[in-house]
């Protein structure tokens, strides 16, 4: 069955004693997305998947929509395909099938599909409507909401994109059943980030959740909490000029590691890279902003227990620094010197944006990360 979390209704229900019962009552049926699908003119419903989603999730979606006709496009899975060439393929798919501004694109997949499909929809004919149905834990708690769309370009993560909100984001926790443990861990890392930047209780709840069991019933309210944290921050700063930068915690170093892996032709899990980035950036926080060392100890334990450590040699460390120099959060100072920009922590729920550190300080954090 599909569940729908309507984010605009979540905040006022957040204190429900039995939130999971509330969530289970929000079945995704004739209301919600069916309204959008049935309202589409004939021939104007389009569905974008990747090869993983097509195998595991498309049959569930197809069964749900019944006889509604739609055009289907399936991309090759993997971050190496999150590029402008794939975006062009989506544009061609829409154009060849006579998509107009009345079209609706359903992005059924992980973060790559929702990011790339959202960007293609935002730019096709100056913008058509799109709905995100994330199929991985990572996409559910991060990529599918907040309005960021885009693709990688010249080795830089998400270098090209827009801020464009989906018509709706629909969460179906039961789709997680088909995921391997690595995908659960990837999404769990982004949830840990939300706890660290915003909410001690969420952080403690996540630490108490049994990773080995991978129980959807106990995870679903935690997904809702993570979504509520992201929604509150993103709505306060939709174009990431201020407080929304806290959501990039762990991503300055994490994205650099991810880009280095992709450059080697590897397919890293985004959440793993973010977790590694958070370890290094909590280290920076302990040294430079007085963050309690206990947080670093807890996060390092999780890394050792579940994620392992990234592989990196001395030459690649220089490459990591170059990738960080191209991070979207960087800014040029009055002396025209480009500074690498971090979000750090004073404590759980007390992030600090626009922290600029020396290369020596960053190298020290990388040394900690790679020597664990």
Q: Over 70: is that where the pLDDT of 14 sits?
A: no
Distance CA 75, CA 255 (A): 23
Residue 276: strand pairing partners: none
More confident residue, 7 or 81: 81
Sequence-separated (6 or more) residues with CB below 8 Å from residue 27: 1, 2, 3, 4
> What are the distances in angstroms from CA 171 to CA 70, 154, 174?
21, 32, 9
How many helices (H) does the chain have, and how many strands (E)? 16, 11
Is the pLDDT score of 19 beyond 70? no
Handedness of CA 262, 214, 11, 113 (dihedral sign): positive
Region 201-205: mean pLDDT is 96
Q: Locate the domains of the chain by residue range.
A: 7-178, 185-371
On the question of a common fold for 7-178 and 185-371, the answer reads no
Structure confidence at residue 7 (pLDDT): 36
- Higher confidence at residue 178 or residue 69? 69
% of the chain surpassing 70 pLDDT: 88
Specify the DSSP class assigned to residue 126: G
- 185-371 topology per CATH: Dehydroquinate synthase-like, alpha domain (1.20.1090)
pLDDT, one tens digit per residue, over 306-364 is 999 998 765 688 899 999 988 766 665 544 456 789 999 999 999 999 999 999 999 99
Query: For the chain, how many residues are written?
Result: 372
Share of the chain above pLDDT 90, in %: 70
CB-CB contact of 260 with 319 (8 Å): yes
Q: How many CB atoms lie within 10 A of CB 315?
A: 7
Provide the token pair at 158: 């998400």
Q: What is the mean pLDDT of the chain?
A: 88
pLDDT at res. 329: 67
CATH of 7-178, one of 3.20.20.370, 3.10.20.30, 3.40.50.1970, 3.20.20.10: 3.40.50.1970
- Cβ distance 149 to 169 under 8 Å? no
pLDDT the model gives residue 328? 64
Per-residue pLDDT of 61-93, as tens digits, reads: 888 888 899 999 999 999 899 999 999 999 999
| Mean pLDDT, range 140-167, rounded to an integer | 93
DSSP character for 142?
Answer: I
pLDDT attached to residue 314: 58
Reading phi first (left if > 0) and then psi (alpha if -120 to 50, else beta), residue 346 is in alpha
The separation between the first and the last C-alpha atoms of the chain, rounded to the nearest angstrom, is 42
pLDDT band at 293 (very low <50, low <70, confident <90, very high): very high
Strand ranges inside the chain, DSSP E: 45-50, 71-75, 104-109, 129-134, 148-153, 156-163, 168-169, 331-332, 338-339, 341-347, 350-356
Residue 116 has pLDDT above 70, yes or no: yes
């Amino acid at each position: 069955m599909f569940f729908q979390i309507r984010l605009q209704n979540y905040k006022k229900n957040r204190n429900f004693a039995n939130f999971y019962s509330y969530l289970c009552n929000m079945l995704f049926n004739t209301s919600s997305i069916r309204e959008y699908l049935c309202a589409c003119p004939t021939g104007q419903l389009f569905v974008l998947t990747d090869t993983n989603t097509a195998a595991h999730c498309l049959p569930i979606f197809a069964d749900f929509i019944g006889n509604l006709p739609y055009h289907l496009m399936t991309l090759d899975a993997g971050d190496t395909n999150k590029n402008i060439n794939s975006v062009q393929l989506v544009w061609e798919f829409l154009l060849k099938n006579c998509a107009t501004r009345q079209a609706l694109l359903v992005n059924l997949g992980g973060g790559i599909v929702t990011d790339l499909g959202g960007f293609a929809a935002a730019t096709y004919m100056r913008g058509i409507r799109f709905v995100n149905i994330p199929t991985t834990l990572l996409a559910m708690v991060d990529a599918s909401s907040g309005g960021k769309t885009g693709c990688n370009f010249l080795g830089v993560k998400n270098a090209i994109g827009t801020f464009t909100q989906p018509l709706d984001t629909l969460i179906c926790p039961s789709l997680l059943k088909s995921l391997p443990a690595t995908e659960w861990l990837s999404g769990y890392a982004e949830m840990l980030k939300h706890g660290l930047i915003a909410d001690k209780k969420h952080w403690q709840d996540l630490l108490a959740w049994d990773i080995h069991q991978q129980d959807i019933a106990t995870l679903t309210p935690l997904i809702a909490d993570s979504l509520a944290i992201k929604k509150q921050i993103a709505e306060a700063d939709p174009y990431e000029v201020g407080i929304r930068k806290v959501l990039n915690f762990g991503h300055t170093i994490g994205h650099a590691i991810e880009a280095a892996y992709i450059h080697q032709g590897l397919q890293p899990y985004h959440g793993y890279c973010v977790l590694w980035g958070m370890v290094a950036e909590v280290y920076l926080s302990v040294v430079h902003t007085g963050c309690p060392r206990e947080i670093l100890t807890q996060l390092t334990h999780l890394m050792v227990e579940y994620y392992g450590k990234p592989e990196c040699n001395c030459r690649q460390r220089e490459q990591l620094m170059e990738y960080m120099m191209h991070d979207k959060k960087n800014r040029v100072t009055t002396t025209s010197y480009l500074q690498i920009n971090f979000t750090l922590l004073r404590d759980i729920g007390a992030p600090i944006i626009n922290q600029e550190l020396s290369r020596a300080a960053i190298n020290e954090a990388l040394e900690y990360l790679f020597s664990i």
